[in-house]
Structure 1
Amino acid sequence: MINLPNMITVVRILLVPVFLIVFWAAGPHRVLWGMLILAVAGITDVIDGYLARKLHMVTPLGKILDPLADKLMVISVMTSLFMIGRFPFWLVVLVIVKELLLVTGSLFMVIRKHLQVSANFYGKAATIAIYAALFFSAFKITGASLVTVLAGIISVIALSNYALSFARRRTY
């Protein structure tokens, strides 16, 4: 069902190619404009989630599109920043592996166990830490290396937490 929160999420998905076009266009401020697009995507993520809960408009479609929009944007930004030498390769790999494992585990839980999988505190903390690492790295802010290491640590903690959660729900 397409409702207001889902429409906002679709706009977020459409921001991914906009980010890529702007970021890879020749120009002195391409990183700035690209990161502004990431900021808009982050703000709309908060808005669509708030509206979906507040207006009781959480839908199965929204539960699929919302994390998809997040993953597409973050991976696009991380990869782009890595390609211009502003983001560490190890964190790109870590986040992609984490997301692949989470998607695989979530699909298993939904298909085989008929259980819903949703974001928790650690997953949200990892997302915030990754956004911070992206901004610190993009703008070469002092402490960017420390922020990326913290984002990596929090991402591993989030993945471990999800793995433990999946293991607890599994029936043998």
Structure 2
Amino acid sequence: MWTIPNIITIFRVLLIPVFVTVYFLDWKWAHELGAFIFWLAAITDWFDGYLARRLQQSSPFGAFLDPVADKLIVATALLMITHSYSSIWITVPAIILLVREIYVSALREWMSGIGASSLVKVSFIGKAKTMAQMLALIGLLSGLEYFMGFPIYWVTLGKILLYFAAVLSIWSMVVYTSAAWKTLLQQK
């Protein structure tokens, strides 16, 4: 259980309360620091997977905890941006992303239980959705449009990427469902 990749994954889970606390501090750069902590968590997701493969330290515990850690921090960030922006234009795509995460997790669990998990393995569309979602969340969490007087438009880019991620989310949900549909219909 105490492999380097698992320790990094546990660290990612422990970052969640730090991320939330920092983000809501009454401090000028709280949102930017919160976005940085979220970015750090996102990077550790890639890093723990890389190390698990590279060091041959994959484990059942890591296979369970890694996606759980991802879902927890993303769900937390989605809730935080809906709170911060209080806009239907942010809330609707955030809900789409949350619904997709729950649905695809349940579908994968079901398919794994019947020995057909290979039908719903991670696809390119799912990876593209994750990348767009993470970048959108970093931009929206940071609240930055200008940095040191220079326009960077992180929030604007974050909004665009949030919608792009929502579209990819629906698309990937349809792809995973289509791949599993025949097998699901055969179950009684």
Match for residue 22 of structure 2?
Answer: 22
TM-score norm. by structure 1 comes to: 0.89
CA shift for structure 1 position 110: 1.9
The answer on 1:98 being equivalent to 2:112 is: no
The answer on 1:76 being equivalent to 2:76 is: yes
SS at match of 2:114: helix
Given candidates 132, 135, 159, the residue that maps to 1:132 is 135
Identity of aligned residues (%): 30
**Residues 86 and 137 in structure 1, CA contact (< 8 A), matched pair in contact too:** no
Given candidates 104, 113, 116, the residue that maps to 2:115 is 113
Deviations 1:67-118 (A, max 9, x none): 1111111111121122111770011110111011112112211223363654
Deviations 1:107-161 (A, max 9, x none): 2112233636542222111110101211232334234432222111111122122
One-letter amino acid of the counterpart of residue 136, structure 1: G
SS at match of 2:27: coil
Cα distance in 1 for partners of 2:183, 2:24 equals 44
Gaps of 5+ in 2: 146-152
1:28–1:57 distance in 2 versus 1, CA, 3 Å: same
Cα distance in 2 for partners of 1:24, 1:18 equals 10
Q: How many residues align?
A: 172
CA RMSD in angstroms, aligned pairs only: 2.0
1:158–1:114 distance in 2 versus 1, CA, 3 Å: closer
TM-score norm. by structure 2 comes to: 0.82
Gaps of 5+ in 1: none
